[in-house]
Amino acid sequence: MELISMIFFSFSSIIIIFFLPSLLKFFASVGRNLPLPPGSLGWPYIGETFQLYSQNPNVFFASKVKRYGSIFKTHILGCPCVMISNPEAAKFVLVTRAHLFKPTFPASKERMLGKQAIFFHQGDYHTKLRKLVLRAFMPESVKNIVSDIESIAKDSLQSWEGRLITTFQEMKTYTFNVALLSIFGKDEVLYREDLKRCYYILEKGYNSMPINLPGTLFHKSMKARKELAQILAKILSTRREMKLDHTDLLASFMGDKGLTDEQIADNIIGVIFAARDTTASVLTWILKYLGENPTVLQAVTEEQEAIIKSKENTSSGGDEKVLSWADSKKMPITSRVIQETLRVASILSFTFREAVKDVEYQGYLIPKGWKVLPLFRNIHHSPEIFPDPEKFDPSRFEVAPKPNTFMPFGNGTHACPGNELAKLEMLVLLHHLTTKYRWSMVGSNSGIQYAPFALPQNGLPIILTKKF
Residues 6+ apart with CB under 8 A from 250: 183, 184, 185, 235, 236, 239, 264, 268
pLDDT in tens, 305-360: 999 999 887 765 555 678 999 999 999 999 999 999 999 998 888 888 999 999 99
pTM to 2 decimals? 0.85
Query: What pLDDT shows up at residue 451?
Result: 63
Query: How buried is residue 404: exposed, middle or buried, by Cβ count under 10 Å (0-12/13-18/19+)?
Result: buried
Residue 205 banded pLDDT, cuts 50, 70, 90: confident
What would the pLDDT profile of 106-129 be if each residue is shown by its tens digit? 677 778 888 888 877 778 888 898
What pLDDT, on a 0 to 100 scale, did the predictor assign at position 306? 95
Report the C-alpha gap between 353 and 370 in whole angstroms: 8
Query: What are residue 81's phi and psi, to 5 degrees?
Result: -135, 155
CB 143 within 8 A of CB 329: no
Give the pLDDT confidence of 363-422 residue by residue, as tens digits. Answer: 999 999 999 999 998 999 999 999 999 999 999 999 999 988 998 887 766 677 778 899
User: Distance between CA atoms of 249 and 445, rounded to whole angstroms?
Assistant: 38
238 neighbors 230 (Cβ within 8 angstroms): no
In whole angstroms, give the CA distance from residue 175 to residue 172: 5
Q: What is the pLDDT of residues 278-298, one digit of tens each?
A: 899 999 999 999 999 999 999
CATH class of 21-115+349-380: alpha beta
> Which strands sit side by side in the sheet containing 353-355, from one edge to the other?
71-76, 79-84, 371-374, 353-355, 101-103
